[in-house]
């Protein structure tokens, strides 16, 4: 039989763990968004240029505008040159003294020689203070692996786009940041990294890679002055999410304005206080969480298929 003292000890450990989880959750909600003062971004960066991938729409575009507002020159990298030109023109209208350069690159291209030819030289010749690894790719709607819309090619693209650019561009900017002993790397991940997201297999797993990658880098470069942050949004109103603006789904401008204030304050966060409150759901027991996520994914899938069927009948 287990003695009473052993049971008491186990109970105290369990209670201590519960209290720790509660206090930490409260800290991540209150401190970054309601108490902390944002550090001087230019001191953290140490360079005049900011590189933003996936910068013509959504969160990436909002980061570009916010960084321009903070006085950083911009190197914008996205797939479509016409969108890059339009984004550049928009930024220059509001921030005339900021330099804006663009590179058209399709990040589903995993050929390292193409990176070396088209992307890396532009990064290496500039004093890059901030790198925002934002480019990403998701599914059109939740689906089991072998039925994902777009088939094997889309699955390959999701894995490549969500993992490879973050890895390569981070490795490319680190030498100059290590030499300066400062710099900022922001990796845009997703709350999908926090759980086993049924019907989102490759997307969820690739975002978990981003979180794990950043955690390792913070250990590897702990002796430097480099700031490495991971942002894990819940629902933001973007073209990719297709969500309408609401309290829990802010527009990209308000979302990024909140997220950018946490650079140098907290290494990993959801980006805004309402998402941080929502993220407490990931503290539920795994069995309960998996059930809730699966039910939600199935409901979203069913709605998407109904909408697709209705559109097909209307043609």
Decide if 270 contacts 234 (C-beta within 8 A). yes
Residue among 234, 258, 239, 283 at smallest CA distance from 21: 283
Distance of alpha carbon 63 from alpha carbon 175, whole angstroms = 23
Distance of alpha carbon 35 from alpha carbon 39, whole angstroms = 13
Give CA separation, 95 vs 88, 90, 118, 232, in Å: 10, 9, 27, 28
Collapsing DSSP to helix, strand or coil, 72 comes out as: coil
Give CA separation, 279 vs 104, 192, 209, 229, in Å: 35, 10, 19, 17
Decide if 46 contacts 180 (C-beta within 8 A). yes
Torsion of CA 174, 175, 177, 180, to 10 degrees: 170
* Catalytic site positions: 203
Q: Which tokens sit at 257?
A: 């304005």
Q: Which tokens sit at 105?
A: 């690159």
Distance of alpha carbon 115 from alpha carbon 123, whole angstroms = 11
pLDDT, residue 4, reads 65
pLDDT, residue 240, reads 72
pLDDT, residue 26, reads 85
Q: Which tokens sit at 112?
A: 């390292």
CATH of 22-283, one of 3.40.50.720, 1.10.10.10, 3.40.190.80, 3.30.70.3040: 3.40.50.720
Distance of alpha carbon 39 from alpha carbon 90, whole angstroms = 27
Question: What residues contact residue 84 under an 8 Å CB cut-off, 6+ apart?
Answer: 55, 56, 76, 78, 102, 103, 104
Torsion of CA 268, 165, 182, 61, to 10 degrees: -70
Distance of alpha carbon 177 from alpha carbon 45, whole angstroms = 9
Backbone dihedral region for residue 71 (phi beyond 0: left; psi -120 to 50: alpha; all else: beta) = left
Burial class (CB in 10 A: 0-12, 13-18, 19+), 82: exposed
Q: What angle do CA 15, 18, 22 make, to 5 degrees?
A: 140
pLDDT, residue 86, reads 98
pTM exceeds 0.85, yes or no:
yes
Residue among 299, 53, 283 at smallest CA distance from 164: 53
Residues 153-182 have pLDDT tens digits of 999 999 999 999 999 999 999 999 999 999
Q: Write out residues in the chain with pLDDT < 50, as ranges.
A: 1
Kind and range of the H or E run holding 89? helix 81-94
Residues 2-57 have pLDDT tens digits of 566 765 666 667 667 667 677 878 889 999 999 999 999 999 999 999 999 999 99
Q: Where are the domains positioned within the chain?
A: 22-283
């Amino acid at each position: 039989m287990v003695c009473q003292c052993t049971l008491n000890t186990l109970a105290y450990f369990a209670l201590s763990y519960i209290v720790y989880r509660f206090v930490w959750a409260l800290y991540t909600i209150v401190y970054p968004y309601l108490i902390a003062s944002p550090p001087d971004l230019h001191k953290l960066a140490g360079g005049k240029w900011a590189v933003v991938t996936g910068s013509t729409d959504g969160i990436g575009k909002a980061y570009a505008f916010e960084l321009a507002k903070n006085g950083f020159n911009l190197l914008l990298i996205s797939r479509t040159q016409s969108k890059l030109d339009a984004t550049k023109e928009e930024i220059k209208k509001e921030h005339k003294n900021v330099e804006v350069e663009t590179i058209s690159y399709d990040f589903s291209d995993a050929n390292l020689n193409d990176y070396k030819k088209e992307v890396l030289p532009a990064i290496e010749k500039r004093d890059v203070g901030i790198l925002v690894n934002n480019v990403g790719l998701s599914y059109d709607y939740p689906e089991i692996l072998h039925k994902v819309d777009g088939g094997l090619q889309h699955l390959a693209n999701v894995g490549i786009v969500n993992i490879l650019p973050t890895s390569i561009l981070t490795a490319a900017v680190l030498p100059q940041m290590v030499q300066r002993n400062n710099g900022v790397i922001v990796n845009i991940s997703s709350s999908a990294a926090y759980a086993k997201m049924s019907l989102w297999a490759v997307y969820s797993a690739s975002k978990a890679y981003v979180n794990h990658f950043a955690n390792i880098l913070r250990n590897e470069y702990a002796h430097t002055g480099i700031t490495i942050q991971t942002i894990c949004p819940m629902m933001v109103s973007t073209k990719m999410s297709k969500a309408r603006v609401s309290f829990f789904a802010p527009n990209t401008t308000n979302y990024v304005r909140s997220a950018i204030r946490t650079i140098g304050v907290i290494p990993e966060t959801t980006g805004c206080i309402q998402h941080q409150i929502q993220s407490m759901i990931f503290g539920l027991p795994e069995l309960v969480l998996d059930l809730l996520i699966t039910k939600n994914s199935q409901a979203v899938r069913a709605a998407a298929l109904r909408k697709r069927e209705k559109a097909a009948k209307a043609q």
